[in-house]
């Protein structure tokens, strides 16, 4: 096998100034040990961030369920309680007004008395029911002027009555935070490729005596780049 | 130094060179595949969460829009009841003139009330886009009016599931690649133990091929 066909350069003539084999072995071990420590630190932090991100994703789902249940409950309260009562009040108030109107056009006193009585009964019932409505707050005429916007305003009020903890639920923000952590974890994992390059340089430095200095420099440069990048990523989390 | 000694020395040197390259390649391939696995796992996790949250969204929106729909149907139904009662008052047999007059007037009142109540019900159905202080999630949750409104939610969930499956496939291949790297690392170690020679070279060659297959396997996940 010819020397030129191998990646190794075993020419020893140019390496008179190079340290002895034992000293070189020691330098390689130091480089690889530092690489292993930096790799372990980066890998460990990546695993931790990945775990935190995963937990936070689960928190986001839990928050989404709680928020969803609260929304359904709030909407039920609006439509099945407040709006429903308001519509009933409006119906009785309108009927009262219409009965009073037809009574006003009636000439027969007895018929007027019956219709007016019926109108007053409906008006009284409307007032009674309006007192129990959070949407109307006792104002029966307010029921006649209700619009869709009033329902949404009331829904906002209902949601505002919830505790601070429930109001602060924001699954989207939790998920975004979790994704940031997972992304940082992934970037740290990518840095391990740079650390692995240091392993390659260290291993080659063991056998390529001609370019040891360059290979050691490359190895330490890789470790420095990985370390600095890891610190930048850490600062951004 | 004889010619044989020189040849053996060159062979040993070449063997060590390739051994060093493969040691580094093992580290780099393992790191690369670990990153691919991590990246795929991240994508799969997020996609699964998206799919889960899309499912929750379907239930919340259907659950919240239900009361609104029920209320609107009930309000229209009330006007129908009033109209029906107005008609019934006229058609019912009435014994005295007074009673007939009252029933007729009440029928008129019922009809007029039904018309005005219907206007009110229609105004209540017309919801603006939002309200001050009302969060978007709550406002959006009551907008489901038909099956077509739910369809985009299902599509969003299915898209997230497809994304999760794609990343899951990538993750599996990266994991398989890592397994091959482990085998390759063992072969590299074995070659180192055996040393230069036919068996050592074979072990080294097998390690190189294994690492190459590992890399290709991991990279093939990107085509999914």
The overall average pLDDT reported for chain B is 90
A3 pLDDT above the threshold of 70: no
Tell me the pLDDT tens digit for each residue of A152-207: 999 999 988 877 777 788 999 999 999 999 999 999 999 999 999 999 999 999 88
A61 pLDDT above the threshold of 70: yes
Shortest Cα distance, chain B CAs vs residue A27, angstroms:
15
User: Can you give the pTM of this predicted structure?
Assistant: 0.79
Q: Which residue has the higher pLDDT, B85 or A231?
A: A231
The pLDDT, as a whole number, for residue B93 is 58
Which of A64, A94, A202 is facing B56, going by the closest CB pair?
A64
Confidence class for position B11, pLDDT limits 50, 70, 90: confident
Q: Which residue has the higher pLDDT, B42 or B87?
A: B42
Mutation for testing the A interface, residue in B72, B89, B125, B142 having most A CBs under 10 Å: B142
The pLDDT, as a whole number, for residue A19 is 61
The overall average pLDDT reported for chain A is 88
ipTM above 0.85, yes or no: no
Share of chain A above pLDDT 90, in %: 72
Chain A residue with CA closest to B68: the answer is A79
Confidence class for position A14, pLDDT limits 50, 70, 90: very low
Tell me the pLDDT tens digit for each residue of A126-166: 999 888 888 888 899 999 999 999 999 999 999 888 777 77
Confidence class for position B179, pLDDT limits 50, 70, 90: very high
Task: Check residue B11 and report its DSSP letter.
Answer: H
Distance of alpha carbon B145 from alpha carbon B127, whole angstroms: 12
B74 pLDDT above the threshold of 50: yes
Q: Which B residues in the span 76-105 are in contact with A, Cβ-Cβ below 8 Å?
A: 78, 82, 98, 101-102, 105
Answer whether A195's CB lies under 8 Å from A38's CB.
yes
Q: A218 to chain B: which residues are within 8 Å by CB? A: none
The pLDDT, as a whole number, for residue B145 is 83
Q: Which residue has the higher pLDDT, B224 or A76?
A: A76
Q: A6 to chain B: which residues are within 8 Å by CB? A: 10, 13-14, 17-18
Tell me the pLDDT tens digit for each residue of B124-147: 999 999 889 898 889 999 988 888
Confidence class for position A219, pLDDT limits 50, 70, 90: very high
The pLDDT, as a whole number, for residue B87 is 81
HSE-up (13 A, CA, CB side) for residue B45: 26
Q: At A176, list the tokens.
A: 């975004």
Residue among B114, B113, B92, B117 at smallest CA distance from B104:
B92
Q: A201 to chain B: which residues are within 8 Å by CB? A: 24
């Amino acid at each position: 096998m010819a020397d030129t066909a191998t990646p190794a350069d075993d020419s020893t003539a140019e390496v008179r100034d190079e340290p002895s084999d034992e000293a070189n072995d020691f330098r390689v071990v130091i480089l690889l040990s530092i690489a292993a420590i930096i790799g372990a630190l980066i890998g460990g932090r990546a695993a931790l961030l990945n775990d935190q991100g995963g937990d936070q994703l689960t928190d986001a789902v839990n928050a989404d369920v709680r928020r969803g249940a609260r929304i359904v409950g709030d909407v039920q309260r609006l439509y099945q309680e407040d709006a429903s009562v308001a519509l009933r009040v409006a119906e009785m108030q309108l009927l009262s007004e219409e009965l009073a109107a037809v009574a006003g056009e009636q000439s027969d006193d007895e018929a007027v008395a019956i219709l007016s009585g019926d109108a007053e009964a409906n008006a009284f019932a409307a007032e009674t029911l309006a007192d129990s409505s959070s949407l109307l707050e006792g104002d029966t005429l307010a029921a006649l002027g209700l619009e869709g916007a009033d329902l949404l305003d009331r829904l906002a009020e209902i949601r505002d009555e919830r505790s601070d903890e429930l109001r602060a639920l924001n699954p989207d923000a939790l998920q975004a935070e979790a994704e940031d952590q997972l992304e940082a974890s992934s970037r740290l994992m990518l840095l391990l490729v740079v650390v692995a390059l240091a392993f390659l340089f260290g291993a080659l430095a063991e056998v390529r005596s001609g370019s040891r200095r360059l290979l050691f420099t490359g190895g330490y440069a890789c470790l420095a780049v990985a370390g600095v990048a890891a610190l930048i990523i850490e600062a951004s989390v | 130094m004889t010619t044989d000694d020189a040849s053996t020395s060159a062979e040993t040197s070449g063997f060590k060179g390739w051994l060093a390259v493969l040691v580094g390649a093992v580290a780099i391939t393992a790191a690369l595949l670990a990153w691919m696995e991590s990246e795929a796992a991240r994508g799969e996790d997020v996609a699964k969460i998206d799919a889960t949250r899309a499912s929750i969204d379907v239930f919340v929106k259907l659950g919240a829009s239900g009361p609104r729909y029920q209320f609107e149907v009930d309000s229209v139904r009330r006007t129908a009841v009033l109209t029906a009662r107005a008609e019934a008052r006229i058609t019912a047999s009435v014994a005295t003139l007074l009673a007939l007059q009252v029933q007729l007037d009440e029928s008129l009142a019922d009809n007029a009330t039904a018309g005005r109540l219907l206007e009110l019900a229609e105004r209540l159905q017309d919801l603006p886009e939002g309200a001050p202080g009302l969060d978007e999630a709550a406002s959006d949750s009551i907008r489901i009016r038909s099956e077509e409104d739910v369809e985009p939610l299902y599509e969003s969930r299915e898209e997230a599931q497809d994304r999760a499956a794609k990343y899951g496939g990538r993750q599996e291949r990266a994991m398989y690649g890592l397994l091959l790297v482990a085998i390759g690392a063992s072969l590299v170690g074995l070659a180192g133990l055996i040393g230069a020679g036919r068996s050592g070279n074979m072990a080294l060659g097998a390690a190189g091929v294994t690492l190459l297959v590992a890399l290709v396997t991991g990279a093939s996940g990107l085509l999914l």
